[in-house]
């Protein structure tokens, strides 16, 4: 009996000690717990997250400024192509603007450089001829006709004899292999107009040699064998075009 009473007393003491020890125990609560509780309350109240069917699929949109830039580029390219297509051909331009031809004829230095592959620089007479009013008149159709008529036998009138210095320059010039040889008589009217075209730097040229002919040298009074060289530009059209007539010593 006493033992049971003591046991109860000990148990009561132990229980009260436990209660006292745990009183005021307030452990730290995880911070994210309220978020979870709030989410569960929202879900139970019907404020759930939108269903999958309510979510619109992302649409690939292009910003307006990109569209505008692309349109500007397309319009620019289109307009440029149209203008390039509609612009007159080179021959038409030259024929319609003879004044331009005359102007470019006054720059023989550039012309000589362009044709330096065939030692055109050794023919000052040509450059001189080009700068003279007489040559300018060649741009007219009438003069062209006259010159064309004389093409087969008027070389001596047009081409001045080369000096010794010029001969040396010709000798030092790189050898050029003619791509084609044709009779001068078949060459149509020529002009110097094409020399004005800046594209001549990249022109594909062909050198045509005529049969050697005896020619009297002006200064030395000697006769020498000269060959007429005609430079053809294949790039502009299929019609052969005489650029120069040069005496070349082979």
Partner 1 sequence: MAVAIKPTYSEQDIIEGCVKGDRKFQELLYHTYCSKMFSVCLRYANEYSTAEDLLQEGFVKVFKNMEKFRGEGSFEGWIRRIFVNNSIEHFRKKANMYVVQETEALTYEYYDDNALSKLMKEDLMKLIQSLSSGYRTIFNLYVIEGYSHKEIAEMLGVTEGTSKSQLARARYLLQKKIVDLMPHMKYQLPDQEATI
- The β-bridge partners of 214 are 225
The only residue of 1, 26, 85, 86 in contact with partner 1, by rule CB under 8 A: 26
**Hunting for tokens 């440029």 — which residue is that?**
80
Least Å distance, CB 48 to partner 1, is 15
Least Å distance, CB 60 to partner 1, is 38
Which tokens in the block code for residue 127? Answer: 């450059």
Least Å distance, CB 7 to partner 1, is 6
Whose Cβ is closer to partner 1: residue 6's or residue 76's?
Answer: 6
- The β-bridge partners of 81 are none
Q: Could you say whether residue 5 binds partner 1 (CB under 8 A)?
A: no
Q: Could you say whether residue 54 binds partner 1 (CB under 8 A)?
A: no
Q: Which stretch binds partner 1 (CB under 8 A): 13-21, 76-84, 106-114, 225-233?
A: 13-21
Instruction: Name the strand (E) or helix (H) holding 131.
Output: helix 124-131
CA distance 185 to 242: 12
**Helix intervals (H) in 150-236:** 155-158, 164-172
Q: Could you say whether residue 49 binds partner 1 (CB under 8 A)?
A: no
CA distance 131 to 106: 5
Whose Cβ is closer to partner 1: residue 33's or residue 83's?
Answer: 33
CA distance 50 to 56: 11
Least Å distance, CB 57 to partner 1, is 32
Instruction: Name the strand (E) or helix (H) holding 13.
Output: helix 2-22
The only residue of 1, 2, 5, 44 in contact with partner 1, by rule CB under 8 A: 44
CA neighbours closer than 13 Å in the CB half-sphere of residue 211: 5
- The β-bridge partners of 231 are 207
The only residue of 1, 5, 30, 172 in contact with partner 1, by rule CB under 8 A: 30
Q: Could you say whether residue 38 binds partner 1 (CB under 8 A)?
A: yes
CA distance 27 to 33: 14
The only residue of 9, 14, 79, 89 in contact with partner 1, by rule CB under 8 A: 14
Q: Could you say whether residue 250 binds partner 1 (CB under 8 A)?
A: no
Q: Could you say whether residue 25 binds partner 1 (CB under 8 A)?
A: yes
Which residues bind to partner 1, rule: CB under 8 A? 7, 10-11, 13-15, 17-19, 21-22, 25-30, 33-34, 36-38, 40-41, 44-45
């Amino acid at each position: 009996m006493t033992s049971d009473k003591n046991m109860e007393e000990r148990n009561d003491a132990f229980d009260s000690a436990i209660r006292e020890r745990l009183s005021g125990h307030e452990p730290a609560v995880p911070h994210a717990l309220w978020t979870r509780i709030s989410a569960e309350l929202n879900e139970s109240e019907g404020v759930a997250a939108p269903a999958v069917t309510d979510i619109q699929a992302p649409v690939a949109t292009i910003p307006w400024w990109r569209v505008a830039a692309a349109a500007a580029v397309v319009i620019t390219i289109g307009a440029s192509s149209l203008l390039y297509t509609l612009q007159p051909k080179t021959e038409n331009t030259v024929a319609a603007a003879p004044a331009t031809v005359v102007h470019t004829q006054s720059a023989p230095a550039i012309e000589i450089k362009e044709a330096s592959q065939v030692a055109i620089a050794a023919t000052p007479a040509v450059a001189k001829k080009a700068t003279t009013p007489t040559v300018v008149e060649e741009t007219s159709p009438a003069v062209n006709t006259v010159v064309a008529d004389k093409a087969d036998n008027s070389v001596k009138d047009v081409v001045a004899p080369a000096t010794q210095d010029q001969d040396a320059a010709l000798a030092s010039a790189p050898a050029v292999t003619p791509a084609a040889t044709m009779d001068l008589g078949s060459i149509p009217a020529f002009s110097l107009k094409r020399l004005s075209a800046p594209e001549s730097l990249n022109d594909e040229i062909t050198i045509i040699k005529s049969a050697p002919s005896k020619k009297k040298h002006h200064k030395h009074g000697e006769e020498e064998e000269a060959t007429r060289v005609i430079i053809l530009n294949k790039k502009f059209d299929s019609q052969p075009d005489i650029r120069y007539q040069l005496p070349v010593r082979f």
